[in-house]
Amino acid sequence: MSHDQTSGTTLFAPLTAPLTGAISVPGDKSISHRAVLFAAMAEGTSRLSGVLDSQDVRSSIRAVRALGAEASLEEQSDGSLAGAVTGWGGRGPSQPDGPIDCGNSGTTARLLMGVLAPWDVRVELTGDDSLVRRPMRRITAPLMKMGARFEPEGRETLPITVCGSRRLRAIAYDAPMASAQLKTAVLLAGVYAEGTTVLREPSPSRNHTELMLPEFGVDTTAADRAASVTGPSLLKACEVRVPGDPSSAAFIVCAATMRSGSSVRVEGVSLNPARIGFVRTLERMGADVSVRRTGAAGKEPYGVISVRHTQNLHGCEVPAEKIASIVDEVPVLALVAAHARGVTVFREAGELRVKETDRLAAIVEGLGRLGVDAWVEGNDLVVEGQPGLRTPEGVSFDSKGDHRLAMTWALAGLCGTSPVEVENFASVEVSYPRFLLDIERLAR
Ligand code: S3P
C-alpha cells in the first residue's frame, strides 16, 4: 500500500499473503452512537466501554457536550473509547452557543432531532457536503405530527433548526421505509410524550434502540416490524458495553472470501440478526462462513464469525425485505458477487441512493471499471459475476467521500490481480480508521 499525499490517492496492490488468524474489529458504530446519546439524555452517570473511536461517533460526542452532557471518554489500549457520561436527565439539554455540526454522520443528525424535539430548545443542525444533501423530511414529518417544529418548515435538507416542545403527543406511525434512524428518532421523542408511541416499518431495520432503551429503564416493546415506548419517562444511567461492528467485520470476511488461502476468525463481533444479513448472503453464495455466539453485552448477542476463502461462489437473489439487514454491506457484497458465477440481484435497494453518496450509481460505475457488468433496474441492483475476474491495469476509483466505498474499492486492489488507486481513501476514518492495519496484520 502506498499513499500519495499530494493528490489524495492511495495505491492498493494485491496482497502477497493470504489473510489468516484471529482479529477483533472496533466497536459497533450504531450501538456507539446510541450509547453516547442515551447516556447524555439520562439522569446520572453512565459507564461506557468498547465505544468506536471514529469521526462519526466523535460527532455525537461533540454534540452531546455542546448540549450540556459531561462526556469523559478516554482512548484505551485497544483503540476503543471508554469512560463516563453524565447526562442532562430531567433538566433537559442546554441551549448550545451555535449550530451543531454533525460532520458526515447521518445517525448523529437524525437521532438528535428525536433527542431535542421534546425540549424547549432551538438548535440548528448542519453537516458536511455529503450530509447536507441527505433527506431529513422522513424524520421531521413524524416529529411534526408529535408537535415539534422545524425551521425552515418543510425543508428536506440540513441546515435545519429543531424547535422543540415540552408537550409532544404520542403517535402511531407507519414508516414509509425501513430506517432505524427514523424509528429511533420517533421512539426517542416518544419517551417524553404522554402515552404509547408506536412505530411500524415495512421490513425490519436494526433494533439496537429497542434493545438498549430498557437498559436505561424505558418501557419499550420490540417486535418484528414494530416498536413502541410508553411515556412520559426518564432515562436512568446504566452501563453499556459495545460489541464489535459487524459492518466493519464484513470487509474482513469478504476479503477472506475473495483472497485464496485465507482463513480468518473475527471475534467479539455483534451477532445481532438484524446486522449479519451479509453472512446469510455470503452463505447463499456458497461461501464458507459460520457464526458462533459466545456471549451478550446487555441484550446484544456477540460471538465469532469464521470464514475461509471460497473458490466456487455463485450468484444469489437477496429479497427486498432483507435489504435493511445488509444496507451498509451491499457495496462490498456487490464486489464479492462480481467474482461469483451467475447473476446476483439485490431487490429494492433504492435506499442506497440516499446514503453518504448514491451507492447504487457508485457500485455500477466502480464495477464497470473492473470490467464487470452491473446495472440498476428500477430499484434492483444486478451484478453479473465473472469467476476468475482479473483486475484491469491502471484502474482508479473515487470513494466520493464514502467510507464504505473507500474500503470496497481498496479490496478490489488488495484481493485482485493488479494494483488499483482509490481517491479520497481517508473517508475510512468515518467508521473503521484501523481497516488497513487490520488487513496488514492478517496478511503477515
Ligand atoms: C443506522 C441505520 C442505517 C445505516 C446507518 C446507521 C443507525 O440507516 O445505514 O449506517 O445507526 O441507525 P437506516 O436509517 O437507513 O436504517
The sign of the torsion formed by the CA atoms of 400, 401, 405, 409 equals positive
Residues 43 and 11 in one domain: no
| The three three-digit cell numbers of residue 46, written as one number | 453512565
105 within ligand 1 shell (Cβ under 6 A): no
pLDDT score of 441:
98
CA gap 81, 79 in Å, rounded: 7
Residues 237 and 247 in one domain: no
| Chain-centroid distance, C-alpha 408 | 15
**What separation in Å is there between the alpha carbon of 130 and the centre of ligand 1?**
15
Domain CATH code at residue 141:
3.65.10.10
Closest CA to 212 of 118, 111, 306: 111
Residues 46 and 93 in one domain: yes
Residues 319 and 179 in one domain: no
- pTM as predicted: 0.98
181 within ligand 1 shell (Cβ under 6 A): yes
Residues 81 and 181 in one domain: yes
30 within ligand 1 shell (Cβ under 6 A): yes
User: Cα 202–357–383 angle (5° rounding)?
Assistant: 70
pLDDT score of 4:
55
Residues 227 and 341 in one domain: no
Which residue lies with its CA nearest to atom 10 of ligand 1? Answer: 328
179 within ligand 1 shell (Cβ under 6 A): yes
Residues 167 and 290 in one domain: no
Which residue lies with its CA nearest to atom 4 of ligand 1? Answer: 328
pLDDT score of 8:
86
24 within ligand 1 shell (Cβ under 6 A): no
CA gap 247, 275 in Å, rounded: 7
54 within ligand 1 shell (Cβ under 6 A): no
Q: How far apart are the first and last CA of the chain?
A: 13
Question: What is the DSSP track for 351-380?
Answer: GGGGSSS-HHHHHHHHHHHTT--EEEETTE
pLDDT in tens, the chain (444 residues): 655 545 789 999 999 999 999 999 999 999 999 999 999 999 999 999 999 999 999 999 999 999 999 999 999 999 999 999 999 999 999 999 999 999 999 999 999 999 999 999 999 999 999 999 999 999 999 999 999 999 999 999 999 999 999 999 999 999 999 999 999 999 999 999 999 999 999 999 999 999 999 999 999 999 999 999 999 999 999 999 999 999 999 999 999 999 999 999 999 999 999 999 999 999 999 999 999 999 999 999 999 999 999 999 999 999 999 999 999 999 999 999 999 999 999 999 999 999 999 999 999 999 999 999 999 999 999 999 999 999 999 999 999 999 999 999 999 999 999 999 999 999 999 999 999 999 999 999
- Expressed as residue numbers, the domain containing 422 is 2-26+243-442
Note the residue count of the chain.
444
Mutation to probe ligand 1, out of 28, 30, 182 (largest number of atoms < 8 A from CB): 30
Residues with Cβ < 8 Å from 369, sequence gap 6 or more? Answer: 392, 395, 396, 397
Name the residues annotated as catalytic. 328
CA gap 392, 367 in Å, rounded: 11
Ligand 1 atom index nearest CA of 33: 11
Residues 333 and 299 in one domain: yes
**What separation in Å is there between the alpha carbon of 444 and the centre of ligand 1?**
34
Mutation to probe ligand 1, out of 105, 179, 359, 403 (largest number of atoms < 8 A from CB): 179
pLDDT score of 5:
47
> What are the φ/ψ torsions at residue 186 (nearest 5 degrees)?
-70, -45
Q: Which long-range contacts (CB under 8 A, 24 or more apart) does 364-372 make?
A: 366/397, 366/405, 366/408, 366/409, 366/412, 367/334, 367/335, 367/338, 369/395, 369/396, 369/397, 370/338, 370/395, 370/412, 370/416, 372/338
pLDDT score of 177:
98
Backbone dihedral region for residue 221 (phi beyond 0: left; psi -120 to 50: alpha; all else: beta): beta
pLDDT score of 3:
52
Ligand 1 atom index nearest CA of 181: 14
Strand partners, 241: 49
User: Cα 295–430–38 angle (5° rounding)?
Assistant: 55
CA gap 1, 146 in Å, rounded: 51
Contact assessment for residue 427 and residue 406, using Cβ atoms and an 8 Å cutoff: yes
**Boundary residue ending a domain (210, 241, 272):** 241
CA gap 31, 180 in Å, rounded: 12
CA gap 184, 179 in Å, rounded: 9
| Exposed / middle / buried, residue 292 (Cβ in 10 Å: 0-12, 13-18, 19+) | exposed
* E strands present in 214-310: 220-222, 226-231, 239-241, 263-270, 288-297, 300-308
Residues 211 and 359 in one domain: no
205 within ligand 1 shell (Cβ under 6 A): yes
Which residue lies with its CA nearest to atom 16 of ligand 1? Answer: 179
pLDDT score of 49:
98
**Boundary residue ending a domain (196, 225, 241):** 241
Per the structure, how many domains does the chain have? 2
CA gap 143, 175 in Å, rounded: 12
**Does an H or E element contain 110, and which?**
helix 106-116
**Boundary residue ending a domain (241, 271, 300):** 241
pLDDT score of 1:
60
Ligand 1 atom index nearest CA of 355: 9
